[in-house]
Each structure stands twice: as C-alpha cells, then as structure tokens.
Chain A
Amino acid sequence: MILANNNAIAYDLAKKQKEISVAEFFERNKHILGFGNPTRALVTSVKEGVDNALDACEEAEILPEIYVEVKNSSEEECTVIIEDNGPGIIKQQIPHVFARLLYGSRFHAVRQSRGQQGIGISAVVLYGQLTTGKHAKITSKIEADRPAVVVELAMDTNKNRGEVLNQDVTHWDKPSGTRIEVNLIADYRRGKRFVYDYLQSTSIVNPHARIIYKEADGTEHIFERTADILPKKSVEVQPHPYGVELGTLIKMAKETNSRKLASFLKTEFSSMGDRTANAVCDEAKLDRNMNPADMTRDQFAALHAAFKKVKIMSPSTDCLSPIGETLIRRSLKSETQEISPEFIFTATRPASVYSGSPFQIEVGIVYGGNLPKDKQVKILRFANRIPLLYQQGDCAITTAIASIDWRRYGLEQPSGTGIPIGPAIFLTHIASTQIPYTSESKEAIADVEEIENEIKLAFRECARKVQMHINKKVRRVKTREKFDLITKILPEIAKKSAHMLNKPVPSLDRVITRIMDVVWIEDLVEYEKARGKQVQTKIDSKPSSEHEGGWITKSTIMVVNYKNKSQKFNLYAVIPKDAVVGTIKPKPAKITDTYIRWNLDSISPTNKVDIYFELAGLNKGDFDENDLYVENINPTYVIGADKWEGE
C-alpha cells in the first residue's frame, strides 16, 4: 500500500530513520501500535503472529493450520508461541522479517491483505526484547527433506536490523512452516479471554484455517476448519487515480519507464484507457507527450486535481477477496453450535469504491437460540479477515448498525437508533485494498460515507431475509394446522360418521378444497454423504478431488393444489451461487446460477406434484431451507412461496 495521510507516523519514521532509534520510536508510539498496556500487548502479539501466519500460508496456497500457545512463565511474563504450516522463510530473510520494522513484501502492493505496514511481527519481537531482555526464537523449515533452522534473534534498535545471536538446525515433523517464540511482559490473567475471542473471531472469517489454542493451564481449544478451499487469491492491481496522494504521484513519475505523460497514466494506473488519459491531460492543461520526469510540482498538482474532475471508471474489484455468503454462514454455524441459533442469514454487497479504493461489505446475522434476549446484540467486526476487537464505539460499522431502525425487524431499540437489543450476533466484514482505519492501531473503521452506506444496505438486505423467514414461519405454522386437519382429522370424522350410519365413507376432495383454499407448497431438505462421487465446485478453480465424499443437498418440494380450480403456474427455487445442480425432476424450464424454474403443468384440485433436485458443492447445513417463488398465479393463493419479483 501507499503511505497515506493517516499513516503519518510511519511516513515520518521513514524519513527520520537515521535520527531516532526504532526503540525510541516504538516507546513513543506503543499505544497506537497496540502495546499500550500488558493486556493489549498479549493480544496484539498473538494477533500479529497469527495474521502473519495466515498470510504466509495463503500466499503459498496451503490450507493454514495454526498453533498458538501462551505460557505464563512468571506473574508478569508470558511466552507466546505461534506456529504455522506455511512455506517457511529462508535463513537469510529471517532477521529482516522478524526484526526490522517497515520491512515486508506487501508494503507497496495494492491488493487486499492482512498486514500492510510491515510493523506487525517485528514490533512484537521488539516489545519482547525491550520488556524482558530476552530474544525471540524463530524456527523455520522450507522443504520437507531438509532440517529446520532455529535462530535466536536480537534487534539492533539503533540500526533497525535483526542480529542473529545463535543458529542451529533441528528436526521438525512438519513438511514446512514457521514458528516464533517470544517472551514479553503481559497480563495473562486478563488477556487470555481476549486471545480466545480473537482466535474464535479469526476462525469465523477464515473458514479455511484450523486454529489450535493452548492456554497456560494446558486447556486446548480447537477451531476446526469449515471449508477446504483457500480464499480466492487477491490480485495485485495498479493504484486507481482517485486514491493517489500527490507525493506518491510524484514518486511514481520519477520511477516510471514511460517517457510520455499519457502512457505513464495508462501503464501505472488502473482504469486508465486512451480516452480517459487524454481527458485527464486536457483537464490539467498538460501536453500528453511531455516527459513525466520533467514535470514541475505545480504541473503534478494540476494533474492530481484533474483526476478528481474527470470521470474515471471504478477500479477493478479483482483485488478483493470476500469470504462469500456460504462460507460465512458455515463458519457462523460452526462457531455458534453451542448457542444453537434459530437461523443464520448472510448478505454480500457488490464491490464498491471510496476515494479510489475498492471495497466490499459482507454481513451475517445469527438469531435466537441461547443468546441473551435482554442484552445489546453482539457485534463482530472484521476488516480483511482480521477481527477488530477494540474501539467498537468509534467504528463506522457500529455507527451504520446504530442508524438502522431495527424495531421494524423485531428487535428492541428504545429510541429507534443505537445498538439494538435482542438475541442476535451481527457480523460485518469489510474487504478492501485499503481499509480506512481511524488510527494506526487498526481497531476501528473511519467514518467514510460510502462504506457506512454499503454496511447499512447489507444489513437491511439481511434483515429483510430475517423478516421473510419469520413471516413464512408464522404462516406455515398456521397452515400446517390446517394441513393436519384435512389429512388426519377430517378423514377420521368421515370414517366415524359413516361407520355409525352404516354408510360408505364419502369423498372428501371438495370439502378439503373448501377448507384449505390454497396452493400448498412444502419443502424438505436432506443431506446425503456423497460416496466417491466426483463433485464439481464453483467456489474455486481448485480441483474437486478434495470434495470427494462431500455432501449432497437433496430438496423435495411438494406442491398440492387445494383450490377448487386447476392451477397452472411457474415455480422458482433459489439456489446458492456456489452450488452445482445435480439430479433434477421434473425437467425444469430454466436453470441459472441463482435459480431453477419449473413451468408446472395444470394441477387439478387436490392433486399433487413432487419436485426433486440435488445440489452439490455445499456442506451439510449450508442450505437448510428452500427459498421458493411463484409466477403467473395470485400469490395470496399460495402458502410456502412468495411472489417472484424477477431476478
């Protein structure tokens, strides 16, 4: 990423590196780096280590398996161990990665990633060294048939360089991986709960990771993996003109190979075609053919101003890697098992842009079960798959949630604003190439209008699904009673009265249609373990071999016409985007990514049509209720499906 305004400290640091030692810098800024007190220090250390581990695994396309252990060696001192199964780090690089501030491969990249500053893990090493005088121990293995390297690392705080004190080789069972062990002054008693929360939250937004947490007393928590697919790899893209700072623009112009302004614009920026580049030059009153290296500061300023005036296409959103509705749902389900929630709904917004940076919002609502009814809903905030644990009150996510009138959706909210009260958990994930944090400690999202709006839209969409679900449930209970009535009780009444009078049992069809007077649609979802069956998946391009023995989701939809006239209409079943349709009966009129449509033949009164379809590529429980719609029939005649409003 490019240094922006809110990173002024880092920017200053870069300039003054020679004048002040990193130790001094750290001491001055430790609160904003997350080491403000011994409790925070523990959580931050775990967080930096885990973020690093996840990034490393994903970059190497390895499903992460991360081991976290915290030991409290004395009253005030903790040992934090973080181990991953990533690619490892070559020996020469270890001092740079772990003991040098502002060093990292992602520093200049415009793409979505967890760490951005290159401060993270080195800060942990530095904090440990400053507080305990002890040195970090790094173990790294890069190939299965080679021994692991163990390095004891000190940090030269004057030079901002790592110093290898001791080095050895050892045997390590893993094919590859990295392990860091740091001693630091930390408040274990208070901090351990936060570590747990952080890891649990991390596991929710990283369904592809398996995380093991061993507490000081030996208690082990395992956060199981719920998806065997790595997140879509975010693509590195060039910066979008809207987000570029003047300083960066000048720097880019100095470093470019382009000799002409127009081609500089086209090659170094995204969303810049011939026409846009020319329009920008014209707007800035600059010659398209001038050499960017010769431009004056004023000319750069004019160019920078022109970016804002010319309509430039939104940046590409390839660089984003959202988690996806199905996976969010799956992890929420797995992490809330003990709560046994009534339902989980998720919504993903299309990617959007704020000052040149693409971002995308995903939300989830967990409702009911053992969640407390009289407390504020629990808000889980995530940015680029990192949980945000502190400063909830200052965060745009909280502001957005608080500005929605939740009373309409059945939650309590005393004045119609504020965090609602009720048995729910709200999850928000924002994915962006540049998360606008309020401060360097990266705990809260800044107040950006576009982001707040998208969060609101996402929650409204999700809340609508909740509302629909509840309405549907209420209606179903009512009509289920009638269903029992006509299928069980009425035939008995008929039998009994006929028996008493010694007469034949009368036909009930017409009475039934009179009592019901609806088209009844009911669905049942079952799961079957697919044995050795090759299942395609669309979540990722990875081969499907991993999915052998996955689950087949089988839906049976029963349509009964309890109206007294024949009915002919179209039925839509909405399917998740990441599912693949298998067997399907009867033959549908249309199948798309998101729905299946059947044009049903005329159904006579009291007649029934059975519809069956299979979905592959989903886990058990991903899809536990069909979302059904009807078309070409008065929707008030129908129980169990809503009016089809188009795609």
Chain B
Amino acid sequence: MTERDYSKVISKIDGIAAKVYSDLEKAEIPSLQLSTRTKANIRFDDNLSVWKYGKNKTERAASSLDGAYMLLRTMYMVDFIKDMIKQKKSSTLRETYYISEGWNLAKFSSQNESDLLAEDLEVITGCMREDFKLRPEEDGARVIGNLVVEEVTRNNTKKKIHCQDDVGDAGYGIPYNVEKEKLTFKQADADFIIAIETGGMFDRLVENGFDTDSRAILVHLKGQPARSTRRFIKRLSEEKKLPVLIFTDCDPWSFRIYGSIAYGAIKTAHISEYLATPSAQYLGVTPSDIVNYKLPTDTLTTEDINALKSELTDPRFEDEFWKHEIKLQLSIGKKSEQQALAKYGLDYVTDTYLPEKLAELGASKKKPKKKT
C-alpha cells in the first residue's frame, strides 16, 4: 500500500482556520458556511442520479453562543485532524469524542455532536471522513454469497476470501474501509444482491440456503446501514453489474433505510455519489404485502404516523409507488415485520414470498413454487 498524499486535505482544513482568522482580523463576526442538511435542501442530481444538497446554506457564526461553541469545536477538531495526519494516526469517531474531554470549553456533550461536526467538515471541505483519519465505530455488516473478495490485511498481504466457502454462518464481515486500495471484488457468480434489514431474516435465508438456491448475495444491513455497507453494495452492484434488492420490515423507518441506499441519506447527501446505489429496488415488505399476504401486524404509533407523513413531503419518495404505499399504510394504520412471514411456516419466505416478489420485479430467473 502506498503512502497517501494528504497535502490537499491539510490545505482544505487550514482554509477553515484561515477563514475564521481573517474574519477576526477584519473585525467581522467569525462564521463558516455550509449546505443546510435538511430534507428541504436536497435536489436530484441528474448527472449523478442521486440526491445532493441544494443551494441553501447554513451559517455557523460566533454571534450566538451555540454558533461560537460550534466554531470553537471546529477549530479544535481541525487542529486535531491536522495532528493525526502529521502523526500518521487515525481515530474512531468515539475516540474523537473522548479526546474532546481535554478540549475544555470545546468539549462535546455527546458523541452525536462530534459525529455531526465530522460530517459538517466533510460538507465544508468536500473531503471524506476517511481523509480526516476518522473512522466509524460500527463494524460493517455481513455478507454470504458466491463472491470472492480480495482484502489487504493488517500485515499488508492480500488475501482472497470466498464468501460461502471461506466463512462461517456469520458470513464475511465488511471492513470499515471498502475502497479499492483495501478491497477488490474478484469473482461473483450470482443473479442479484439482496440486502436484508434484520439479522433474524438474514439467518433465515442462510439456513434455508437461499444464497445457493436462488443465486443471491445476501447482505445484512444491521438496521440503518453504515457508510461502508452502502459503499460495498454500490461498488459490488456497479462493478459486477448485479441488481440490488432491499428487503426490510414494513414501517417508515425501513423505508428510510431503502432511501439512504438508493437515493442517498439526507445527512450525507454531500457524498451521495459515493454511497448511493440509484438502481436499488425495494422488494418488501410493502404495505400492499400486509394486505395481500394477510400478515400479522402492529398498530402504527404516533411517531410512525408522523414519520410517514414526513416521508410524503420528502422529495426522495416523490414517486407513484411510494406515494401509493405510504398512503395505503396510513389508511390501514398498521405495520409489520419481515419475520411476520413465519406465520405461514419457516420456508414460506424462501419458497413463496421472495420468489413471487422477485418475479414481480423481474429480478429472478427462478420460477416461484406454487402457493401453499
């Protein structure tokens, strides 16, 4: 692995300090501008086919107490990043949060604050978190399927891993860095990628041998997928020309998981083109499925209802399919889990539900079995 050149990153973060310094010199209230990270400020980028931030800017100015704290923390954070680059070190986001214990007034009060600031810095500089030598806490998700990856290991040797033969039941663990210098896809013999929200359902498909029977690469999302998981799916899908299907619970939060994979997340719209897989399709469970398959349900909570209503005004969900499904869910007032399919037996999901749904989307080459 060759040594990375960080001079561009350094000049970008020095630029932040220089902006603040020159404001002070000119007797102006120091401030930084960045794109507003809200759903009202995301626009579809036709060239990239993903959702990016629009023109709205937010100002972090020292005229208010919160703004001033923000600027002070930003100063500490960029100084810290610069140090890490010089020292050839890196830290997790959680470590960064704890490092801030020594920053006196600039101390973060929660990790959420430091994570958000790292994202802010990405937005301001156009760099990625990885450029700042910051890495996420979460390990990547799991993968099982007829796929061979080559990973550069800790001791700098390349190792090929077959994601069925070389792994246990838990599958191949996606590392936090899935860029080319770390990971390459050698061989993939499958018809599609299926990304699954819950571990329970992932294990069900593994146990039922869905990966071999249906020539599928199974990816466990672990709830809202980490950046590395999304990046992994995108690269695999694009490099190996495999369609991506998202299989989640049926509730507004699961729709958001789909949104972040297919369209890009609101929080990370500045790097949507790295993370989003615009061709990803939503497989289910859909509100229509609740009705058609007569699935066991729970009643929507107030938060669920509000989240659904908010999705109705989310530009990413502005198409016929989603409008129809969200309105349907609001009208039936119910939600359901993927594992509710077990109502019809443990094999039902692999024998009936998935084949039917895949056929509906035209993604499977295998005919569904007869309905029981």
Contacts and interface: CB of A to CB of B under 8 A. Distances in A.
A418 to B, nearest CB: 37
A506 B63 CA distance: 18
Interface string B65-97: 100110110011011001000000000000000
A510 interface: yes
A255 interface: no
Interface of A: 481-482, 484-485, 488-490, 492-494, 496-501, 503, 506, 508, 510-511, 514-515
Chain A interface SS verdict (over half): helix
A145 to B, nearest CB: 72
A497 B68 contact: no
B161 to A, nearest CB: 42
Interface string B296-327: 00000000000000000000000000000000
6 contacts: A492-B104, A499-B79, A501-B14, A511-B23, A511-B24, A514-B28
A497 B21 contact: yes
Given A510-B27, A514-B28, A514-B29, A497 B62 contact: no
A497 B63 contact: no
B68 A489 contact: yes
Given A481-B65, A497-B17, A489 B105 contact: yes
Given A500-B79, A515-B63, 17 more contacts: A481-B65, A484-B65, A485-B68, A489-B62, A489-B68, A492-B75, A493-B30, A493-B68, A497-B17, A497-B21, A497-B75, A500-B78, A501-B17, A503-B21, A506-B25, A511-B24, A511-B29
Contacts of B361: none
A18 B331 CA distance: 94
Contact of B71 (A493, A503, A510): A493
Given A485-B62, A493-B72, A497-B17, A515 B24 contact: no
A202 to B, nearest CB: 49
B358 interface: no
A511 B82 CA distance: 27
Contacts of B62: 485, 489-490, 493, 511, 515
Contact of A494 (B24, B69, B82): B24
Contacts of A514: 27-29
Given A489-B105, A493-B68, A511-B29, A500 B82 contact: yes
A482 B65 contact: yes
Interface string B94-123: 000000000011100000000000000000
Contacts of A506: 21, 24-25
A19 B157 CA distance: 126
B106 A492 contact: yes
B70 to A, nearest CB: 10
Nearest to A481: B65
Nearest to A505: B24
Interface in B48-74: 62-65, 68-69, 71-72
Interface string B1-37: 0000000000000100110110111011110000000
B271 to A, nearest CB: 25
Given A482-B65, A489-B62, A511-B27, A496 B72 contact: yes
Contacts of B75: 492-493, 496-497, 500
Interface residues of B, number: 28
B108 to A, nearest CB: 14
A482 to B, nearest CB: 7
A497 B105 CA distance: 15
Given A489-B62, A490-B62, A506-B21, A496 B79 contact: yes
B13 to A, nearest CB: 8
A217 to B, nearest CB: 52
Contacts of B105: 488-489, 492
A427 to B, nearest CB: 39
Contacts of A482: 65
Nearest to A508: B24
Nearest to B27: A510
A508 to B, nearest CB: 7
Contacts of B78: 500
A487 to B, nearest CB: 11
Interface string B194-213: 00000000000000000000
B71 A485 contact: no
A181 to B, nearest CB: 66
Contacts of B72: 489, 492-493, 496
Given A485-B68, A493-B62, A500 B17 contact: yes
A494 B72 CA distance: 9
A485 B64 CA distance: 8
A628 to B, nearest CB: 24
Contacts of A503: 21
A508 B71 CA distance: 15
B76 A496 contact: yes
The 10 lowest CB-CB distance pairs between A and B, nearest first, are A510-B27, A496-B75, A500-B17, A497-B21, A481-B65, A489-B68, A506-B24, A497-B17, A497-B20, A485-B68
Contacts of A489: 62, 65, 68-69, 71-72, 105
Nearest to B69: A489
A515 B24 CA distance: 12
A259 B149 CA distance: 130
Contacts of B82: 500
A501 B18 contact: yes
Contact of A500 (B14, B29, B65, B104): B14
A514 B82 CA distance: 31
B344 to A, nearest CB: 55
B107 to A, nearest CB: 12
A186 to B, nearest CB: 60
Contacts of A488: 105
Interface in B341-362: none
A610 to B, nearest CB: 26
B79 A511 contact: no
B24 A497 contact: yes
A490 B68 contact: yes
Nearest to B62: A490
Contacts of B20: 493, 497
Nearest to A494: B24
A586 to B, nearest CB: 31
Interface in B125-156: none
